[in-house]
A and B are shown apart, each in its own frame.
Chain A
Amino acid sequence: MKSITANLQLRNLTKNYGASLAPAVDSVSLSIASGELVSLLGPSGCGKTTTLRMIAGLVLQDSGDITINGESIANRPVHERNIGMVFQNYALFPHMTIHDNVAFGLRMRSFKAAERDRRVSEALEIVQLGSFAQRTPAELSGGQQQRVALARALVIEPSVLLLDEPLGALDKNLREDMQVELRRIQKSLGITTVIVTHDQEEALTLSDRVVVMKGGKLEQVGTPRDVYCRPESRFVAEFIGSSNFLEGTVQAHDNKHAVVEAGAFGLLKVDRPLAEGARISVALRPEDIELLPLETASSSEPYNCVRCSISEVLYKGFVSHIYAKTAEGQLIKVSVQNKVGHSEMTKYSPGQTYLAHWPIESNIVLK
């Protein structure tokens, strides 16, 4: 199976479902390189699925353009776009065998029977279902149906592969296996891929770049590391992972740092210069915070620390989520990693007082 070098461009793509409603997709522009896997991530109603369906041609855009290798496909009907799509519930043809399901796209392209069979077997081998060709979809498990749907979409050698919440219906372990599988196939074929998901973990695991959407607009576009470690807005910091949010006013700065007065959280030092007097928000990941016993903590820590007392400890297996309160009653979330054999979990219990402390780089300044 070959893949086509295809870069996908969205330009000011807009879709309104009703004049009285806010636009479902609002002037979205995005450039996806050939062979790149980009995920559209966001809560339901953020426009990610509508964007995907516009690329597929299942929804017609109100304005804007979609191009593949510079050629506009925005006004082509769905069956002339040469796009491979995997649907949320796989949408296999229930009245056809697995072989016929995968062969369908080739049949529509008038391939000769021999060539068709050869390609179908090849596609089924890629998704490791070679021996299932004569079964029907109902005889397959969810994970297997998922792989058939993938083979069916890939066998036509589409210019772009679109996946709509492809793993949403699978249980957790299977989902992780399929993520690895999907990534392997996508990379080995080098096929330009757009995947819609509301699962942040899935987006971070699979993607070359993550596109976070909100209210029909792009909120942030970046590598998984970018969007997790450098979220630009409170929405992204909250939607991907979990965060503490600290508000403050810049007091002083030098070339590299700024000091922020953050009320109950004392003074924060951030690793970028900011104008004095500016009101800023800082996101702080719970796993970046360390809880130091009061007796061992140097009492003279000037920045990035706050004294707090634990109000609740939630055991989650490999981590524990600890909810603590500052003297002023502000909530602070801390995650500690658990190790079997260590008693980290029993170490922390409600009522204890610790000094929460975090490094300068952990303060993420939001726009």
Chain B
Amino acid sequence: MKPHRQPLVYLLMTLPGVLFLLVAFIAPVVVMLSSSFLTQTSQGIDLPITFSNYWRVIDTPLYGHVIWITLRISLYTTLLALFVGFPIAMVIARGGPFYSRLAIIIVVAPLVVSVVIRTYGWSLLLANNKSGVLNWTLAHLGFGPIATHLMYTETAVVLGSLHVFLPMMVLPLSSAIARVNPAVEEAAGTLGANGWRLLWYIMLPLCKPGILAGASVVFSLTAASFVTPAILGGSYALMLGNLVEQQILAVYDWPFGSALAVVMVLLIYGVNGLAGWAFDSKHLPRASRGLALRRAPRLRGSLS
């Protein structure tokens, strides 16, 4: 048997997955995309084909504002996840067996609990009244009766999202760090790099694929989330996901809801593509991208 000469076998092997994706992903996307160009009538979704749904998104200041909030919350969450996640990933990749395992458990364990329950947990912690755990603690420390009003703010949504999506950052990061040869770090040390320079010149560039993967997942999931902003943001930190939910379930305007969803998907793809492009054109570790980079260093010449 020479399996590599039988593409048909490979085709058959992917068939179940392809069929599932076709039914559960491609078809809904096609339906969503096409209904976003249609009109909601009292009988249901119908012709004529129109761009008015998209015009409405662009034309209404509220929607632009929500898009802006969505991007901002997602960006903050991603950056925070990177800052908080990198040290944890470092412990997982380079710490002793005990600390490494402990860190993995702490990061991954919350995944077992449903997002809804965890988010309600946050609302108990952050509640804007005397019984909120944070306010209660601060009050007992002498900061006044109700020291914080974090609930129903973007900060609350960022905190909640960070908690939910941190593992998505830590896991790719730790595997990227583990792939860096420790001797490379030692070499940088002997050449005079202190800890920060080691991080900046060696670790971060070499972990770029992991950083991009983690950031992409955290950003995309945060931008598309709807449970966390619904519970922690209320109407003050409305995100695109909540608008879609309103239009589909409350207002019952499926074409407009679809248009919002399409905008959301395009936005996420756009930001991901932009970030990928921005980091790709600079010095990316060869380990991650073999051929594309071969020419890159020569072009840079004296940039160093």
Contacts and interface: CB of A to CB of B under 8 A. Distances in A.
A78 B286 contact: no
Interface stretch (A2-10, A91-99, A325-333, A349-357): A91-99
A80 B191 CA distance: 9
B contact residues, range? 20 to 34
A95 B205 contact: yes
B201 interface: yes
A138 interface: yes
B190 A100 contact: no
Given A79-B190, A81-B190, A91 B201 contact: no
Contacts of B301: 134
A80 B189 CA distance: 9
Given A78-B190, A84-B190, A94-B184, A103 B304 contact: yes
B304 A136 contact: no
B188 A94 contact: no
A107 to B, nearest CB: 8
Interface string A138-162: 1100000000010011001000001
Contacts, number: 95
B283 A96 contact: yes
Contact of A100 (B193, B194, B298, B304): B304
B284 interface: yes
A97 B192 contact: no
Contacts of A135: 297
A96 B282 CA distance: 11
Interface string B176-190: 000001011011111
A42 B301 CA distance: 44
A108 B287 contact: no
Contacts of B147: none
Contact of A85 (B187, B284, B293, B297): B187
B169 to A, nearest CB: 21
A68 to B, nearest CB: 14
Contacts of B197: 108
A137 B297 CA distance: 11
Contacts of B193: 79, 104, 108
Given A87-B183, A94-B206, A134-B298, A99 B191 contact: no
B294 interface: yes
A58 B191 CA distance: 12
A126 interface: no
Given A91-B181, A91-B186, A156-B192, 13 more contacts: A58-B186, A79-B190, A81-B190, A87-B187, A93-B187, A94-B206, A96-B297, A99-B304, A103-B304, A108-B197, A134-B298, A136-B286, A152-B191
Interface of A: 56-58, 77-85, 87-89, 91-97, 99-100, 103-105, 108-109, 113, 134-139, 149, 152-153, 156, 162
